[in-house]
Amino acid sequence: MAKQSDVLSADFLVKVAEEFGTPVYVYHAEKIKTQYEKLQKAFVKADARFFYACKALTNINVLRYINSIGCGLDTVSIQEVQLGLKAGFDPKNIIFTPNCVDLQEIIAAKDLGVNINIDNISILEQFGNQFGGSYPICIRLNPHIMAGGNFKISTGHVDSKFGISIHQLRHIERIVKSTKLKVTGLHMHTGSEIKDVDVFLRGVEIMFEMTEHFPDLEFIDLGSGFKVAYQQGDPETDIDLLGKKLTDAFNHFAKSYKRPLQLWFEPGKFLVSQCGYFVVKANVIKQTTATVFVGVNSGFNHLIRPMFYDSFHLIKNISNHKGTERIYTVVGNICETDTFGWDRKINEVREGDYLVFYNAGAYGFEMSSNFNSRLKPAEVLVKDGKAHLIRKRDTIDDLLKNQVEIPL
């Protein structure tokens, strides 16, 4: 059906929509592999490892595929850890970086044998008091760097809930010394959609300074935040330039450290964003005195990023891609304002046409809900030119399965 490339054609997506119905999320395995290989190539001269930030997309088939190409897994909940293990990841290839969880969740991850990353003083002290140096840990630091494409996805600034402030280093040292904690990793993540390579360089310089306080390190984890293009001409992180500059800086520093160091990254959106296509159907064309709306059979219950982050998704009409361009505002069928895009140039849309949202692989289905009692869409994975159903579309029974009826 599809060509052996990492791009799915409009005709192919129409066939998927006809076979599986809409709305439907479609993921292209080969594109994930292409993105992973870009990272490997960019950091080929560094001892680097990559852990997929699976909060972007956790379908177990996607996880299994990512494991098969040799990538590790970054998780933020014990449930993501469990999914990773079910998908076949070795515990040593999973890093667990939760936020604002209690000690019991940390202990559960320890019992599963994964790498643990602790991001607050309270848990660090509790874990150290209970386990001392019997289980190695990583510490997440807040470098106080403002970065990212949106304040909501900036995680390293002074008011962020993430990480332990670098200005609390003396407190960290006291806990490590008194509880005999073994710290084998340092971690930071400043935000998502970072275009400026120098942001990473500023961050790694801070991490280099921190290492002198931790003699047993095995790795430095710089998180991710690599930006991908959402439309033609969009700026994105220059991965090759980043790889060269970071490799040079890291290799130079590693020579002065007392033991071998690895460089870890946790790409999420970079790996899966561009692999994803969200296909919907035009329900109605509604013209007002000022605007022509295309109302589709979806809403922010399926794709919330445009409303939550003001993010841009390219929208095309794949049923009439040779039609005359007109200006439309694309909206959903939810009883809230759920505008996907204002004043978009799209080939003429007729009721019943299929539209596709590009770059829908990251934080699309993963952030979906059953708001308005609408059903979640199906998911399809395309591999080797063949489309596979990897999640059935919700039914009304899915809305009711965990509800308990009582006598009234």
Q: How many CB atoms lie within 10 A of CB 174?
A: 11
How would you class 372 by CB atoms within 10 Å of its CB: exposed for 0-12, middle for 13-18, buried for 19 or more?
middle
Of 159, 144, 247, which Cα lies nearest the Cα of 189?
A: 144
Q: What is the pLDDT of residues 179-230, one digit of tens each?
A: 999 999 999 977 655 667 887 888 888 899 999 999 999 999 999 888 888 8
How would you class 367 by CB atoms within 10 Å of its CB: exposed for 0-12, middle for 13-18, buried for 19 or more?
middle
Of 193, 183, 150, which Cα lies nearest the Cα of 259?
A: 183
**CATH class assigned to 273-400:** mainly beta
Q: Report the C-alpha gap between 24 and 32 in whole angstroms.
A: 19
Instruction: With beta carbons less than 8 A apart as the criterion, state whether 362 and 309 touch.
Output: no
Q: What share of the chain is helix, strand, coil (3-state, %, to 5)?
A: 35, 25, 40
Tokens of 322: 């040779």
pLDDT for res 231: 80
Buried b (16+ CB within 10 A) or exposed e, 289-323: eeeeebbbbbbbbbbbbbbebebbbbbbbbbbeee
DSSP-based three-state secondary structure for 230? coil
309 annotated as a binding-site residue: yes
Q: Report the C-alpha gap between 138 and 82 in whole angstroms.
A: 20
**For the domain 29-270, what is the CATH code?**
3.20.20.10
pLDDT for res 226: 86
Q: Report the C-alpha gap between 102 and 122 in whole angstroms.
A: 10
Q: Where are the alpha helices (DSSP H) in 180-313?
A: 197-211, 239-254, 269-272, 305-308
Report which secondary-structure segment, H or E, holds 386.
Answer: strand 386-391
pTM, 2 dp: 0.93
- Residue ranges per domain, the chain? 29-270, 273-400
pLDDT beneath 50: ranges in the chain: 1-3, 146-157
Peptide bond into 23 cis (omega under 30): yes
Active site residues: 335
Instruction: With beta carbons less than 8 A apart as the criterion, state whether 261 and 204 touch.
Output: no
pLDDT for res 221: 95
pLDDT for res 159: 67
30 annotated as a binding-site residue: no
Of 39, 7, 17, 106, which Cα lies nearest the Cα of 270?
A: 39
Report which secondary-structure segment, H or E, holds 110.
Answer: helix 103-112
pLDDT for res 194: 61
Q: Report the C-alpha gap between 240 and 41 in whole angstroms.
A: 8
Q: Where are the alpha helices (DSSP H) in 255-387?
A: 269-272, 305-308
Tokens of 325: 């361009």
336 annotated as a binding-site residue: yes
Q: Report the C-alpha gap between 29 and 113 in whole angstroms.
A: 29
Q: Where are the alpha helices (DSSP H) in 167-304?
A: 169-179, 197-211, 239-254, 269-272
pLDDT for res 148: 42
